[in-house]
Amino acid sequence: MTPLHLSHFTASSCLGCGLEATLTALRQQRGGLAPCHFETIGDLDTQVGEVLAVDDAPLPAPLAEYDCRNNRLAFLGLQQDGFRSAVAAAIARHGRRRVGILLGTSTAGILQTEQAYRRRDPHTGALPDDFIYRTTHNTYSVADFVRQYFRLEGPAVVVSTACSSSAKVFASAARLLAAGVIDAAIVGGVDSLCLTTLYGFNALELLSPDPCRPFDRDRKGLSIGEAAAFALLERTGPSLDADAVLLLGTGESSDAYHMSAPHPEGLGARMAMAAALQSAGLQAADIDYINLHGTATPSNDAAEGKAVMALFGARTPCSSTKGATGHTLGAAGGLEAVISALALQQAFLPGGINTLRVDPATPIQYLTANRDVAPRRVMSNSFGFGGTNCSLVLGRAG
Amino acid sequence: MTSLATATLCGWLDGVGVLGPGLDNWAAAQPILAGETDYQPRPVVVPPPAALPPPERRRVGLAVKVALAVAQEAITNAGLDAKHLVAVFSSSGADGDNCDAICQMLASEDRHISPTRFHNSVHNASAGYWGIACGAMTPATVLCAYDGSFGAGLLEAMTQVTVEGVGAVLVTYDAPNPQPLHAKCPLPAAFGLALALMPHRGPHSLACLCIDLVESPLHRVANPDLELLRRQIPSARGLPLLQWLARGADGRVILEYLEPLSLAVDVQPCR
């Protein structure tokens, strides 16, 4: 593919709101997971990566009908790092109809519906009058909210493929740009804590009681987090700073194996990584760091480890940053693309925290401490339920 | 009309699948849409997902069954193999029955939902089961743009065809919500519409389709009952295109997308 410029990007998660807080936490190898007391939950022995500032981020009054945790998190994320101004400048450059919105989410505002079900009319069973499905729970609501917020009039869509959602938006946006349908895209992901995912992963016995330990020999499952991550994707201009971050390649595949378990040999994951390399015109040896999907469930890490070994061997440094952020599901691809972009700009490889003894069954070069090495090209992996896989390749302009 | 794309996106339509009330499949729907046969509204008859292994077959909900049925019909009509196609699924809301069951459990004293309920709750359940049913390891995406979901799906599928140079099956589908969700998001019936789209003309090609984003009034379906379906069900927003095809008409059909934009499809039938 023709490289695209991430002309602006931002992320908010349990590590903090904005790039500086995110970078500081990564530099200090500090995580944001804490015991789960979310909402009315008192019976789940697990950790969550909650963004506490969400509760203090009401939406602007004209957009009140969009009010739900997911859109509040989106709004909070858009206020960081001058992202709002960058979008305004892109609109001024390209026009309201030439800036697309492609966002990933798995939860959207379903928490709103979960809470509305508790307030059903005791006689009729009807949901309360103040509950609005379209602008909160519906999968599209976050893209619609962002479109209304920026008064955009161009293409918009939500990609909802579970935990690969906000990686796949980069691929779809790149196609729209290549086709000439748009000149810039707001891409990213927003996923927020809710009861469905917490009790759902509990039902699958995949929640770790301790902060998750990706690729640890004794890993016990995942920790759920929430995040809003955004990037502005544009064609490259005539001159780019050396530390400009480019999207170099995207690769997508399907496992065709099981709804909630990965292909045991990581075949789909391997195909996505290989496709991303091919799309970027690169070899495995050209990749300096892999931000792994690394959810810390026994089967996911084993499958991804096999896929990485098959394609990269043990020579490529890699880590999962989910020990710090938790697994932010539909926002994970976007969040980890931003973390990868920070690694490229700030010249370091983030070590995976909480991992004490790397699983000897996966002899990849897993980093448990930060490394002061300046990567030129990195890969970010995102895989999900339904056997959906997406890998991105990002690189420095110079 | 102002064209907004700098490049027009063109591909070849090789197969159609459709399922809705009184529309059993593409062969049966064509004379109805062409105005040669009366439309008889009746409940949707959804075929069982025979391609799935028995355990998965028992687990899928109505929305996924509809998606799988029309997807299979489109590629069968096109004489194509799913293993060589990317898949683009698009639904305004997917599985409302499953969502209702989960929300009821979560509002009760015992919040322990079942693992199957949970993995069926993802918007991409359709793509997951599709991959399992046909062994396709090709890319699959799953989209939502509420009432614009058909247009968003067609746009993604056509960019796959033109930019990646691959064949794509577009599958748009909706299923009605049970109460109390129905009151907040009323969909009168299940509906599915699938198009098999190819980068080059082949022996099964029905028409060349070129799409563009425009500002223009929408086309309607001539039959008033089917027009009502178009207005009420997001995946049925593609019905005017099927009417064009059924009549062998050429020219530009305007479909709903996202205000203020509509999706123009220039149809050139293969004769």
Beta-strand runs (E) in chain A: 4-13, 16-17, 34-35, 47-49, 99-104, 156-159, 184-191, 224-225, 227-235, 245-254, 289-291, 317-319, 365-366, 377-384, 388-396
What's the rounded Cα separation, in Å, for the pair A91 and A150? Answer: 9
Q: Supply the pTM of this predicted model.
A: 0.98
Task: Determine the distance in angstroms separating the CA of B34 from the nearest CA of chain A, rounded to an integer.
Answer: 31
57-116 in chain A: CB under 8 A from chain B: 97-98, 106, 110, 113-114
Inter-chain residue contact B107 with A120, CB threshold 8 Å: yes
**Residue A308, Cβ neighbours under 10 Å: how many?**
26
B113, B122, B138 ranked by CB distance to A203: nearest: B113
Q: What residues of B are in contact with residue A135 (Cβ under 8 Å)?
A: none
* pLDDT per position as a tens digit, B162-173: 999 999 999 999
Q: A327-347 in b/e burial notation, b at 16+ Cβ within 10 A?
A: bbbbbbbbbbbbbbbbbbbee
Q: Give me the pLDDT at residue A246, please.
A: 98
- Residue labelled with tokens 């061997």: A313
Element (H, E) at B212: strand B207-214
> What tokens were used for A207?
């929640």
- The Cα B72–Cα B26 span in angstroms is 12
- Nearest of A311, A14, A164, A298 to residue B122 by alpha carbon: A164
Residues of A in contact with B135 (CB under 8 A): 256
Q: How far is A182 from chain B (nearest CA, A)?
A: 7
All structural domains of chain A with their residue ranges = 4-396
Q: Is the pLDDT of residue B6 over 60?
A: no
Q: Is the pLDDT of residue B104 over 60?
A: yes
Question: B12-205+228-249 belongs to which homologous superfamily?
Answer: Thiolase/Chalcone synthase (3.40.47.10)
| CB < 8 Å to A170, chain B | none
Calculate mean pLDDT across residues A158-170: 98
A49 neighbors A32 (Cβ within 8 angstroms): yes
To probe the interface with A, which of B124, B132, B169 has the most A CB atoms within 10 Å?
B124
With beta carbons under 8 A apart, name residues in chain A contacting B118. 196, 199-201, 203-204, 260
pLDDT for A57:
81
Distance of residue A253 Cα from the nearest chain B Cα, in angstroms: 4
| Interface-testing mutation among A98, A131, A172, A181, with chain B (most B C-beta atoms within 10 A) | A181
Active centre residues of A (catalytic): 163, 293, 327
Spatial contact of B130 and B169, defined as CB atoms under 8 Å apart: no
* A124 CA: distance to closest CA in chain B (Å): 9
Closest alpha carbon to A333 in A142, A110, A160: A160
Mean pLDDT score of chain A: 97
Tell me the C-alpha distance between A267 and A274, whole Å: 10
Q: Which residue of A has its CA nearest to B118?
A: A200
Rounded to an integer, the average pLDDT of A284-292 is 98
Question: Could you say which residues from 13 to 32 on chain A have a Cβ atom under 8 Å away from some Cβ of chain B?
Answer: none
Provide, as residue numbers in chain A, all residues whose Cβ is less than 8 Å from the Cβ of B184. Answer: 127, 131-133
Contact A140 B149 (CB under 8 A): yes
Helix, strand or coil for residue A366? strand
Structure tokens at B114: 């079942």
Alpha-carbon distances, residue B45 vs A350, B20, B23, B29, B192 (angstroms): 54, 8, 9, 14, 12
Q: Does domain A4-396 have CATH number 2.40.30.30?
A: no
**Sequence-ordered list of residues with C-beta below 8 angstroms from that of B167, at least 6 positions apart, any chain:** B14, B80, B84, B85, B86, B161, B196, B197, B198, B199
DSSP state of A224: E
Nearest CA in chain A to B128: A386
Looking at residue B7, its pLDDT comes to 57
What would the pLDDT profile of A181-226 be if each residue is shown by its tens digit?
999 999 999 999 999 999 999 999 999 999 999 999 999 999 999 9
- Look-up: residue for tokens 């697994």? A327
Domain boundaries in chain B? 12-205+228-249
Phi/psi at A219 (5° precision):
-60, 145
Average pLDDT on A34-52 reads 97
Q: Is A260 on the interface with B (CB under 8 A)?
A: yes
pLDDT of residue B63: 97
What's the burial of B54, exposed, middle or buried (CB within 10 Å: 0-12/13-18/19+)? exposed
Amino acid, res. A63:
L
How far B35 CA sits from the closest chain A CA (Å)? Answer: 34
**CB contact at 8 A, A172 and A159:** yes
HEC string of B72-130? HHHHHHHCCCHHHEEEEEECCCCCHHHHHHHHHHHCCCCCCCCHHHHHHCCCCHHHHHH
